[in-house]
Chains A and B, each alone.
Chain A
């Protein structure tokens, strides 16, 4: 049945369109965009006072399936995505087993087709078993539908292997995503190395663990002339390295998570295990630097690094707790609160980093509002504030440091392929 979105402010970063328009959806696609589309015999969404944006795209989601269905599944993760306004999520391959074989890529697609509310795109591993020893069958993984490659959670520390991956991926036109962290510097670290790791007696993860890894990857990128996406930048110098590489003309893109542009290592003083993630929360100067990186385009996209863990796993002492926090359902709120309201980005610029920019990295034509395009849309109220409540999460896990926060930007409707997959109750 046709769906008419009436009177919303259509903001499409790809075209720069920013005006109050009606959008008619038919057969899962955008049929018409106009000042006024007649509403007879159609289901109508009154979007007046709301923003209609292309559906958000998350390049960095952990769905935990197969292997850790107690933490999250493709189904529950997709529900969380829908609530957060994401219509496409890229599933990281560090599952059990890791996605290093075409049959596993197919499994993710099959499972998504069966139960996912949003589009789920599998990322496959760079190395077989994520062991960092030899390349996974990247060509066959691509044919099976993998949209990128990453050993996320681990850096490919073997430089020769990383060189091969960068070279090989050139014939596949897919992004190579690097989790930049030299584990010989991270060691047993659980938080940013600095004043607070010292006073709290917790082992530190130095910023140099990220910077050394980025630097090596960029050197290899220059050598191979390939392309590279740097995941979750967290340090000031990391941003600077990417900025310089872009200036030199290297084909590098990068991302930052909402928690890294919002929180600092100060938060760890609470010993709340939901402040523990990799890379860790850094310092004020780093938060400022990633903000600057977002502003000047060094950082192309915002990605959540949604990493669910159960209450049982997180309700332990700080050292024993696993790394990672969920992020799909709080991303928009943090983007508006921390970036738009503080003047770092305009709302349009921020939306670009959630829509058309990740689409470009994937080499896909999604993330835009135009006639004929797949109807993936997010309708939100940029003014309305809401409270982050543990019970309200649609993710199977609730490991968020933002519980209790008041956030602006309430997602009211999420539409995937023309179907309403989320509707706010209030």
Chain B
């Protein structure tokens, strides 16, 4: 098995073998993070440009750290105060940065397909760091990595993804990834936040959190994205909490060894009470740690070897 792609744009078009290959590669990078000197020379002389056209803390820092740990040079760019405000187009911005000779773009953008546009037009690797509500492949890969680390397998597991499915790229990427590796996925949320025909992605839909949690191995809570709602918000956050917050009683419906995950940032007290976010079943911080290793693996697979 090898990984021959120029870009990482989504999980939908990856094969199960490619996913496993990335996860296995990440394992050796995860080990580096435990060393006293957390750096390898793998990408020395390579330059990665992180283009963030949407606010992000976790993903951006995680990519920057992954790049530094691999000895790559990292440029970071956010749309606030940039030439985007002066009307420069995405493609133009990218072409200008490419003219300074970079090897890879990491792109976060509000519009689905924005990384695909760069990947199609530019002869350089592009990593999708989240494109609108479409995909967030590195997040799904780090989630898969973390689940596999804890459970030893993905196949046969039951996972519930709870919250604003319509606006969640994390949900979509996880649905593809978990499905490809043989897990059963349920999505749960108010009907106004479940997109049409999602059953065709191979998931079960439930509007009842109690029903969705019954016997699951993994619970992924999503943030209610206040900033993205347009008319489809639940009537109020209080009402949302009443129906969809992961309380202790509800958590008891899942398997005893169930894992609680969240892609962050958590709305503490809305979808997830603090006691559970910080509780023994929560692996939220493991997700964050593993994120660096998974991103190192992806950068290595795209840039570190001759294609």
Min distance, Cβ B148 to any Cβ of chain A, angstroms: 24
Q: Give me 17 other A-B pairs in contact (C-beta within 8 A), A188-B230, A316-B117, A320-B111 excluded.
A: A187-B230, A194-B196, A195-B196, A197-B195, A198-B196, A198-B197, A198-B201, A200-B113, A200-B134, A201-B169, A202-B133, A312-B89, A316-B91, A317-B109, A318-B113, A318-B114, A319-B110
Q: Are B197 and A317 in contact (CB under 8 A)?
A: no
Q: Are A315 and B89 in contact (CB under 8 A)?
A: yes
Residues on A with beta carbons closer than 8 Å to the beta carbon of B197: 194-195, 198
Determine whether B135 belongs to the interface, using a CB cutoff of 8 Å to chain A.
Answer: yes
> Chain A: how many interface residues by the 8 Å CB criterion?
20
List residues of chain B with CB under 8 Å of any chain A CB. 12, 89-91, 109-114, 116-117, 131-135, 169, 172, 195-198, 200-201, 230-231
Q: Among the interface residues B116, B134, B195, which one has the most CB atoms of the partner chain A within 10 A?
A: B195
Given the contacts A195-B200, A271-B116, A315 and B134 also touching, CB distance less than 8 Å: no
By beta carbon, the residue of chain A nearest B116 is: A271
Determine whether A327 belongs to the interface, using a CB cutoff of 8 Å to chain B.
Answer: no
Residues on B with beta carbons closer than 8 Å to the beta carbon of A197: 195-196
By beta carbon, the residue of chain A nearest B92 is: A315
Residues on B with beta carbons closer than 8 Å to the beta carbon of A365: none
Residues on A with beta carbons closer than 8 Å to the beta carbon of B169: 201
Given the contacts A188-B230, A315-B91, A199 and B201 also touching, CB distance less than 8 Å: yes
Residues on B with beta carbons closer than 8 Å to the beta carbon of A317: 90, 109-111, 113-114, 117
Cβ-neighbour of A271 out of B113, B196, B201, B230 (below 8 A) = B113
Cβ-neighbour of B134 out of A201, A204, A312 (below 8 A) = A201
Cβ-neighbour of B112 out of A193, A201, A204, A316 (below 8 A) = A201
Min distance, Cβ B82 to any Cβ of chain A, angstroms: 16
**Leading 5 A-B pairs by shortest Cβ distance:** A271-B113, A201-B133, A317-B111, A201-B134, A195-B197
A195 to B201, CA, bound (A): 8
Residues on A with beta carbons closer than 8 Å to the beta carbon of B12: 199
Residues on A with beta carbons closer than 8 Å to the beta carbon of B135: 201
Q: Among the interface residues A193, A195, A198, which one has the most CB atoms of the partner chain B within 10 A?
A: A198
Q: Are A319 and B112 in contact (CB under 8 A)?
A: yes
Min distance, Cβ A27 to any Cβ of chain B, angstroms: 52
Q: Are A202 and B134 in contact (CB under 8 A)?
A: yes
Min distance, Cβ B62 to any Cβ of chain A, angstroms: 21
Residues on B with beta carbons closer than 8 Å to the beta carbon of A188: 230
Min distance, Cβ B122 to any Cβ of chain A, angstroms: 13
Q: Are A199 and B172 in contact (CB under 8 A)?
A: yes
Min distance, Cβ B137 to any Cβ of chain A, angstroms: 13
Residues on A with beta carbons closer than 8 Å to the beta carbon of B196: 193-195, 197-198, 204
Query: Which chain A residues in 160-209 approach chain B with CB under 8 Å?
Result: 187-188, 193-195, 197-202, 204
Residues on B with beta carbons closer than 8 Å to the beta carbon of A204: 195-196
By beta carbon, the residue of chain A nearest B131 is: A201
- Interface 1/0 per residue, A196-232 and B, CB below 8 Å: 0111111010000000000000000000000000000
Min distance, Cβ B279 to any Cβ of chain A, angstroms: 31
Residues on B with beta carbons closer than 8 Å to the beta carbon of A195: 196-197, 200
A198 to B200, CA, bound (A): 10
Residues on B with beta carbons closer than 8 Å to the beta carbon of A202: 112, 132-134
Residues on B with beta carbons closer than 8 Å to the beta carbon of A271: 112-113, 116-117
Residues on A with beta carbons closer than 8 Å to the beta carbon of B117: 271, 316-317
- Interface 1/0 per residue, A307-322 and B, CB below 8 Å: 0000010011111100
Q: Are B200 and A319 in contact (CB under 8 A)?
A: no
Residues on B with beta carbons closer than 8 Å to the beta carbon of A194: 196-197
Q: Among the interface residues B109, B113, B117, B195, which one has the most CB atoms of the partner chain A within 10 A?
A: B113
Min distance, Cβ B297 to any Cβ of chain A, angstroms: 25
7 contacts between A and B (CB under 8 A): A198-B198, A200-B134, A201-B112, A202-B133, A202-B134, A271-B116, A271-B117
Residues on A with beta carbons closer than 8 Å to the beta carbon of B112: 200-202, 271, 318-319
By beta carbon, the residue of chain A nearest B9 is: A271
Residues on B with beta carbons closer than 8 Å to the beta carbon of A201: 112, 131-135, 169, 172
Residues on B with beta carbons closer than 8 Å to the beta carbon of A319: 110-112, 132
Residues on B with beta carbons closer than 8 Å to the beta carbon of A318: 111-114
Min distance, Cβ B136 to any Cβ of chain A, angstroms: 10
Cβ-neighbour of A198 out of B113, B132, B195, B230 (below 8 A) = B195
Q: Among the interface residues B110, B112, B196, which one has the most CB atoms of the partner chain A within 10 A?
A: B112
Min distance, Cβ A37 to any Cβ of chain B, angstroms: 55
Min distance, Cβ A204 to any Cβ of chain B, angstroms: 7
Residues on A with beta carbons closer than 8 Å to the beta carbon of B195: 197-198, 204
Residues on A with beta carbons closer than 8 Å to the beta carbon of B132: 201-202, 319
By beta carbon, the residue of chain B nearest A184 is: B231
Q: Are A187 and B231 in contact (CB under 8 A)?
A: yes
Min distance, Cβ B135 to any Cβ of chain A, angstroms: 7
A320 to B117, CA, bound (A): 13
By beta carbon, the residue of chain A nearest B197 is: A195
A315 to B197, CA, bound (A): 30
Min distance, Cβ A274 to any Cβ of chain B, angstroms: 13
Residues on A with beta carbons closer than 8 Å to the beta carbon of B116: 271
